[in-house]
């Protein structure tokens, strides 16, 4: 179902809560933070101008960096307000909070065409946990919701998903901005009516990041192939040992319900049948973030579904590669999101590379392939196969899109 976009709205006199992507690079200069690249701000101007022309009262929300729930002065959006005013050629009000009385008072006196930028939503931990009470607070000033932050739509956070739900519940409209519309057009058209067999390949670190997508895709896909660390949460759910593999132990129920849904709907749900495992050992060396670099020793293929206690599963094994490649070769539409293993390390990149080759091959034979997610895009480019697929999107999975209103 196509999503409502800003072109479909009539926002005259209404307060429009716009989630934008203003996660811009900043540098300290003479004791002040300065924006070193304003591309992200520039890109939002068409959406903002359209809403201003329509006479909306704009309230912009965004995150900047990872302040982890604290008011980090270096991650304030204040410099963005200054830059945005300069680019828009009109005043941009700024409130040093994203919820509360000050925000509500300022929003109340906005006139049609006025623009207000709120402070970093990630000054609150509740943003990333998508806390319902926090979403209600954010939504207090919102009559209409617009999401133009495609890059943030893959996470179900309060400002990307929660607020939309609150606005929709109150009968308000939730629409995609122009940037988001551009991204959705391709993904939407291709994935609304995928030519069967439609094969979805999901990998990467976390089930929790992608569960909404899994749930939605189970209604459309003919087969789901799971790789990456995500696969081990499914293994754990099936009662196997996962050793030192990266798992989300609290997500096993989610995994079980996805497996059940697949069964009900007759969707093939393929999990790895073998793995490349190794023993992680902390070294004295520190990485950029100051964490000890992990050395992986005794790399080997394991065909047991139970991982040895001292080892971690780091890539899909050769039999799994074969199973997945066969399935991909039969497909006519492919959606791929997330690497099959710790592909940054050559020893654990073969699964991801093999999937990339299989996807490129079948695309050459006429299938449509859509690659979503920065890491799968990276992996394809690394394998020099980037131009052999139909469409690559930097976006990952999109609960922020699911929350938007459908076009009538």
Taking CB under 6 A as the criterion, the residue among 56, 151, 177, 228 binding ligand AMP is 228
CB of 338 to ligand AMP, least distance (A): 4
Could you say whether residue 207 binds ligand AMP (CB under 6 A)? no
Taking CB under 6 A as the criterion, the residue among 375, 377, 385, 403 binding ligand AMP is 375
Instruction: Lay out the site mask for ligand AMP across 11-50 (x = CB under 6 A, - = otherwise).
Output: ----------------------------------------
Could you say whether residue 246 binds ligand AMP (CB under 6 A)? yes
Query: Measured between alpha carbons, how far is 57 from 297 in angstroms, rounded to an integer?
Result: 58
If the CB atoms of residues 146 and 307 are measured against ligand AMP, the closer one turns out to be: 307
Instruction: Lay out the site mask for ligand AMP across 52-91 (x = CB under 6 A, - = otherwise).
Output: ----------------------------------------
If the CB atoms of residues 67 and 228 are measured against ligand AMP, the closer one turns out to be: 228
If the CB atoms of residues 306 and 344 are measured against ligand AMP, the closer one turns out to be: 344
Could you say whether residue 399 binds ligand AMP (CB under 6 A)? no
Could you say whether residue 344 binds ligand AMP (CB under 6 A)? yes
Taking CB under 6 A as the criterion, the residue among 78, 140, 185, 206 binding ligand AMP is 206
CB of 159 to ligand AMP, least distance (A): 20
State the chain's maximal CA–CA distance in angstroms.
Answer: 66
CB of 60 to ligand AMP, least distance (A): 27
Could you say whether residue 372 binds ligand AMP (CB under 6 A)? no
Taking CB under 6 A as the criterion, the residue among 218, 342, 383, 401 binding ligand AMP is 342
Taking CB under 6 A as the criterion, the residue among 56, 338, 372, 399 binding ligand AMP is 338
If the CB atoms of residues 194 and 341 are measured against ligand AMP, the closer one turns out to be: 341
Tokens found for residue 90: 């009109």
If the CB atoms of residues 185 and 382 are measured against ligand AMP, the closer one turns out to be: 382
Phi, psi of 57, deg, nearest 5: -105, 110
Instruction: Lay out the site mask for ligand AMP across 304-323 (x = CB under 6 A, - = otherwise).
Output: ---------xx---------
Which of 133-141, 144-152, 179-187, 205-213 is the region at the interface with ligand AMP (rule: CB under 6 A)? 205-213
SS3 for the chain is CCECEHHHCCCCCCEEEEECCCCCCEEEECCEEEECCCHHHHHHHHHHHHHHHCCCEEEEECCCCCCCCCCCHHHCCHHHHHHHHHHHCCCCEEECCCCCHHHHHHHHCCCCCCEEEECCHHHCHHHHCCCHHHHHHHHCCCCEEEECCHHHCCCCCHHHHHHHHHHHHCCCCEEECHHHHHHHHHHHHHHHCCCCCEEEEECCCCHHHHHHHHHHHCCCCCEEEECCCHHHHHHHHCCCCCCCCCCCHHHHHHHHHHHHHHHHCCCEEECCCCEEEEEEEEEEEECCCCCEEEEEEEEEEECCCCCCCCCEEEEECHHHHHHHHHHHHCCCEEEEECCCCCCCCHHHCHHHHHHHHHHHHHHHCCCEEEEECHHHHHHHHHCCCHHHCCEEECCCCCHHHHCCCECC
Taking CB under 6 A as the criterion, the residue among 172, 177, 204, 400 binding ligand AMP is 204
Q: In the complex, which residues of this chain contact ligand AMP (CB under 6 A)? A: 204-206, 209, 228-229, 246, 313-314, 338-339, 341-344, 373, 375
């Amino acid at each position: 179902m196509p999503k409502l976009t800003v072109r479909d709205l009539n926002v005259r006199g209404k307060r429009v809560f716009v989630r934008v992507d203003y996660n811009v690079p900043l540098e300290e200069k003479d004791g002040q933070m300065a924006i070193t690249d304003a591309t992200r701000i520039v890109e939002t101007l068409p959406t903002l101008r359209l809403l201003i022309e329509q006479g909306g009262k704009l309230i912009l929300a965004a995150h900047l960096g990872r302040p982890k729930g604290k008011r980090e002065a270096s991650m304030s959006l204040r410099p963005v307000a200054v830059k945005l005013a300069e680019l828009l050629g009109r005043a941009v009000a700024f409130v040093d909070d994203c919820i509360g009385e000050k925000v509500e008072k300022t929003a109340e006196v906005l006139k049609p065409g006025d623009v207000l930028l709120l402070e970093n939503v990630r000054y609150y931990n509740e943003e990333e946990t998508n806390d319902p009470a926090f979403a209600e607070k954010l939504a207090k000033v919102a009559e209409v919701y617009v999401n133009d932050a495609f890059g943030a739509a893959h996470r179900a956070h309060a400002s990307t998903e929660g607020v939309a739900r609150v606005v929709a519940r109150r009968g308000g409209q939730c629409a995609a901005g122009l940037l988001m519309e551009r991204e959705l057009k391709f993904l939407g058209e291709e994935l609304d009516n995928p030519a069967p067999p439609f094969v979805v390949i999901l990998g990467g670190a976390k089930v929790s990041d992608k569960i909404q997508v899994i749930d939605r895709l189970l209604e459309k896909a003919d087969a789901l192939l799971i790789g990456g660390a995500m696969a081990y949460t499914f293994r754990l759910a099936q009662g196997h040992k996962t050793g030192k593999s990266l798992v989300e132990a609290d997500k096993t129920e989610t995994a079980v319900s996805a497996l059940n849904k697949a069964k009900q709907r007759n969707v093939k749900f393929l999990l790895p049948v073998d793995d490349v495992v190794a023993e992680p050992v902390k070294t004295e060396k520190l990485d950029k973030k100051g964490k000890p670099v992990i050395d992986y020793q005794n790399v080997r293929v394991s065909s047991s579904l139970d991982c040895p206690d001292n080892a971690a599963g780091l890539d899909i094994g050769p039999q799994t590669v074969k199973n997945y490649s066969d399935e991909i070769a039969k497909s006519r539409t492919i959606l791929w999101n997330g690497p099959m293993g710790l592909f940054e390390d050559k020893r654990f990149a073969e699964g991801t590379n093999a999937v990339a080759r299989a996807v490129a091959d079948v695309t050459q034979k006429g299938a449509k392939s859509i690659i979503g997610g920065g890491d799968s895009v990276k992996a394809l480019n690394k394998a020099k196969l980037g131009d052999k697929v139909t469409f690559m999107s930097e976006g990952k999975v999109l609960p922020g899109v699911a929350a938007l209103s459908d076009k009538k």
